[in-house]
Amino acid sequence: MPRTTEPDPLAVDAGTQALVLISSLRSPLTLLPGSAFENLLVVSTTRSPAKVEQLVRERGGDPNRVGVVPVSGSPVDYDGPMWTASVVHPNDLSGIDQRFARGMNYVKPGEGWVVFDNVNVLLMYAELSGVYQLVESAAARTRDRRASGAFALVRDAVGDSTYERFREIFDTELDERGRES
């Protein structure tokens, strides 16, 4: 159910790329403003497209306006209203990048949103330098399209140097670890 009693913490200006610090079980989709669900691309490393659709519906969004790049080590079977790329394994960073680039074609300049739901998952499967390049490229493409970006990182699960390295990519940082879902 959408929050109505408090401001949306991730309401950022078009083109702004935010590093969003979350707890390990939190989805950044629960933190988006309602307007984000009008045109949204999700790179999902933690939830299946069906679970993303459920979160979109719970937030009052229209799944027909959402695209998903599913990143999973397991097959993904989804036949719903969201646009979905073919599943890509978390160690296939070039495959993730290609599917992300394709999905960006549907993100409206100055209006759309991009959510990368958990950078940490990729760090379990690939080298830091490769994950950094992927995230830096995704943030740059999102910024160039003047879309708002929310890239989630579980801060408590990475060291200080890794955190600082990712932090330099973004325009702002939003620490949402203490918020209740």
Q: What per-residue confidence (pLDDT) applies to 2?
A: 44
CB neighbourhood size of 7 (10 A): 8
Question: Mean pLDDT across the stretch 61-65?
Answer: 96
Question: What is the percent of the chain with per-residue pLDDT over 90, rounded to a whole number?
Answer: 85
Per residue in 104-156, pLDDT tens?
Answer: 999 999 999 999 999 999 999 999 999 999 999 999 999 999 999 999 999 99
Evaluate if residue 5 carries a pLDDT over 50: no
Q: What per-residue confidence (pLDDT) applies to 179?
A: 64
What are the residue boundaries of the structural domains of the chain, listed by start?
17-175
Evaluate if residue 87 carries a pLDDT over 90: yes
Q: Write down the CATH superfamily of domain 17-175.
A: P-loop containing nucleotide triphosphate hydrolases (3.40.50.300)
Amino acid at 176: E
How far apart (Å, rounded) are the C-alpha atoms in residues 96 and 44? 10
What is the chain's length?
181
User: What SS3 string covers the chain?
Assistant: CCCCCCCCCCCCCCCCEEEEECCCCCCHHHHCCHHHHHCEEEEECCCCHHHHHHHHHHCCCCHHHEEEEEECCCCCCCCCCCEECCCECCCCHHHHHHHHHHHHCCCCCCCCEEEECCHHHHHHHCCHHHHHHHHHHHHHHHHHCCCEEEEEECHHHCCHHHHHHHHCCCCEEEECCCCCC
